[in-house]
Amino acid sequence: MLQEILEVFGEVVQQDSRIVTDSYSLKDGTYRLIEMNNQDGWKIKETIDIFYDKKMKQINGSQNTNYTYIQELDYYSKLLDMNKPIDPKKVIHSCHYFALSVKKESVLSGKLNKDIIKKYYAILKNPMSKYEKKSNSKKLYENVEKEIGPVDKKIIESIEEYVLHTNIFEGIALDKKDYIKIFFVFSDQDKTLDYYKQENKRYLLPNLYNSNDYNIEDGNEILGLPNNNMNLNSKKPFLLNKTRKVKTPYLVNQGQALLQAQFFDYLWGQVSKGCYDFYINTFGNENEILAIADDKDLKGKNIQGYYIRCQKGKNEAEIIDSQVVSSFSYSLKKSFYLENYMEISDEYIEKSDIRYEEYLDNMVSMFNIIDQVFFDGKLKRNLYMNASDMQINNDYLKKCLLTYRDQLKLFKNTGDLLILKKIIDKMSWYIIINSISQSSQLMLVHKLNLRWSLLDYFDDERKIGEKMMDVKNQLRLHINLPKEKDWEFNDDKEFNYAVGQLVKYFVYLSKSSKKTHVFINQYLNCKDIEQLKQKLIQMYKKYNYAIDFYLESRCSKLVEHIMKYDTNNILCEFIVAGFNGPLLILEKNKEEDEDE
């Protein structure tokens, strides 16, 4: 998949050459431009303090007119990583002679001294000295020098002379633990950038691969192991595939390795800014890379291509998930509607963040309401967490997320509703049945409403939410019939709903100071109908002294009809619905209102 992604990325880079440098994040520090002018003498052109302001959540210095210029200068001066320095002591963190990048504490402590500086420029004057002891590295540098020519020793010596005999850090506060980056530039920015890119290439190509020990020659080109997301070395021999003639995982030429390095630089820049989700979109043959900082960035998008998820590693962006996206559409073909089947009062709905009677017309809204109601807002933030790092206190919720995580990722990232359709029944019921003892009644009712709304959304004929309302209304009608009028439960659904209602009434009668949903569990766990009826009889004997005379008729009707109804089916969902629905026994009918 990576190769296909890189092909798209390569085309995007051709259309927008600044895509990588625009995403590049500058480290906190002081950046100084020194202009090399032979006529008027060398002078400090600009000094800028650049740092991320955590309070304001913005980059201080980014409004400076030279900010994007400095971005490019720094990008083309950086080391690939600290294991591939020019300075063997690793005090200087730049890769060519036009730049000098050091930590302020290295200047303050004297760690950066003349010997370090002289050694740095000595290597840059004779780059072959760095590579000549290793044949594979030597070949790579020889190829680079054939392409771009030898170094300009005259410029190097001029810069070295200036650094050694001028206080290039004058006026810079050294007490902060960040960087000083000195850039030597010409008055012509294009000329400067050409030199920076050239010297960056001189450093980059011999150091681009993970280790040149694995390089092989294939005709006229050299193939090697890319360095990104790969740490193959003598300490990790298990990464070698020893059953093949070529033991390394895969090999690419320098052009491919360079493109891959640019791609991971782009990812690193975006991840540093808080973007972890990426779509490589080829929809309509218009290639683009989408870095998603907020779900709103997907608004109106149709995506076909690839999805990758990154995390911030020590020195690079690490790809931790990837998926092929056949057809992602931000907009839903059929809007989703959260129905208030459980008849939550308007008062409670108005106080809640969960919105009813609104049409949700996009994938993001659907995912968010599943997160909000079923997972208490903990799904998205824990979707890519290791199990040990998950910030979820409820064990059942954590287990549910781990069980269905792969499917939820696919649903969220590819927009495939069929994936959600396959899991929503079992997943939502698992959450509901396990949250009985831990969720408030209101949240449990929200969960039931969402479950039934989603099941109805995916299956128009099932209509479980509507059936639940019909069952409730039928039971309301039955228990309010005159005493002399005989009736029976229509079916097992009404019977089980009535069981839930009766249990709820017993809880209402209880004088316990702490009334919890755990009370219903003993009925849900019954092995058969006889056991369930026995438990109801026990509760009736315990609480019948407290039954109000005017309500006794309804309660007696429930008890009588439950006891004489013959069935073998315990329908837990209808018991739970009855237990959490409005208590019909306490409802006032028209006659009672008139009496009052």
Q: Which residue has the higher pLDDT, 576 or 222?
A: 576
205 has a pLDDT exceeding 60:
yes
On average, the pLDDT of the chain sits at 89
Residue 551: what pLDDT?
Answer: 58
82 has a pLDDT exceeding 80:
yes
How far apart CA 475 and CA 489 sit, in angstroms, is 8
Q: The tokens of 471 are what?
A: 């069952």
The pLDDT confidence band at residue 414, using thresholds 50, 70 and 90, is very high
Residue 550: what pLDDT?
Answer: 61
Residue 372: what pLDDT?
Answer: 95
Give the tens place of pLDDT for each residue, 275-319: 999 999 999 878 999 999 888 899 999 999 999 999 998 888 999
How big is the CA angle at 342 (ends 419 and 437), to the nearest 5 degrees?
A: 75
Contact assessment for residue 505 and residue 578, using Cβ atoms and an 8 Å cutoff: no
- Mean pLDDT calculated for residue range 150-168: 96
Residue 133: what pLDDT?
Answer: 87
Backbone angles phi, psi at 393, to 5 degrees: -85, -30
Q: Which residue has the higher pLDDT, 245 or 494?
A: 494
247 has a pLDDT exceeding 50:
no
Residue 515: what pLDDT?
Answer: 67
- Mean pLDDT calculated for residue range 127-149: 90
The pLDDT confidence band at residue 544, using thresholds 50, 70 and 90, is confident
Residue 460: what pLDDT?
Answer: 82
Residue 250: what pLDDT?
Answer: 67
Give the tens place of pLDDT for each residue, 369-380: 999 999 999 999
The pLDDT confidence band at residue 594, using thresholds 50, 70 and 90, is very low
CB within 8 Å of 323: residues ≥ 6 apart: 306, 307, 308, 409, 410, 413, 414
Residue 282: what pLDDT?
Answer: 92
- Mean pLDDT calculated for residue range 339-344: 90
Give the tens place of pLDDT for each residue, 162-174: 999 999 999 999 9
596 has a pLDDT exceeding 70:
no
Residue 453: what pLDDT?
Answer: 94
- Mean pLDDT calculated for residue range 208-212: 79
Among the ranges given (27-31, 44-48, 64-68, 217-221), the one the predictor scored with the smallest mean pLDDT: 217-221
- Mean pLDDT calculated for residue range 554-583: 91
Strand locations in 262-347 (E) = 277-281, 288-292, 302-312, 317-329, 331-337
Residue 242: what pLDDT?
Answer: 42
Q: Do β-strands 317-329 and 302-312 pair in parallel, antiparallel, or remain unpaired?
A: antiparallel
Q: Provide the CA 291 distance to its chain's centre, in angstroms.
A: 12
CB within 8 Å of 138: residues ≥ 6 apart: 128, 131, 132
Residue 240: what pLDDT?
Answer: 43
H-run or E-run covering 420: helix 417-435
In the β-sheet with 43-53, what is the strand arrangement from edge to edge?
58-60, 43-53, 29-35, 179-185, 99-103
Percent of the residues in the chain that have a pLDDT greater than 90, as a whole number: 65
For 150-189, b/e burial (b = at least 16 CB within 10 A) is ebeeeebebbbeebeeeebbeebeeebebbbbbbbbeeee
Residue 234: what pLDDT?
Answer: 43
590 has a pLDDT exceeding 60:
no
211 has a pLDDT exceeding 60:
yes
The pLDDT confidence band at residue 244, using thresholds 50, 70 and 90, is very low
How far apart CA 206 and CA 393 sit, in angstroms, is 50
Residue 355: what pLDDT?
Answer: 84
- Mean pLDDT calculated for residue range 450-476: 91
Indicate the residue type of 22. D
The pLDDT confidence band at residue 249, using thresholds 50, 70 and 90, is low
Domain boundaries, the chain: 19-207, 333-462, 466-586
237 has a pLDDT exceeding 80:
no
Q: Which residue has the higher pLDDT, 383 or 591?
A: 383
The pLDDT confidence band at residue 549, using thresholds 50, 70 and 90, is low
**Cα torsion at 169, 173, 174, 175 (round to 10°)?**
180
**Cα torsion at 345, 347, 352, 358 (round to 10°)?**
60
Percent of the residues in the chain that have a pLDDT greater than 70, as a whole number: 94
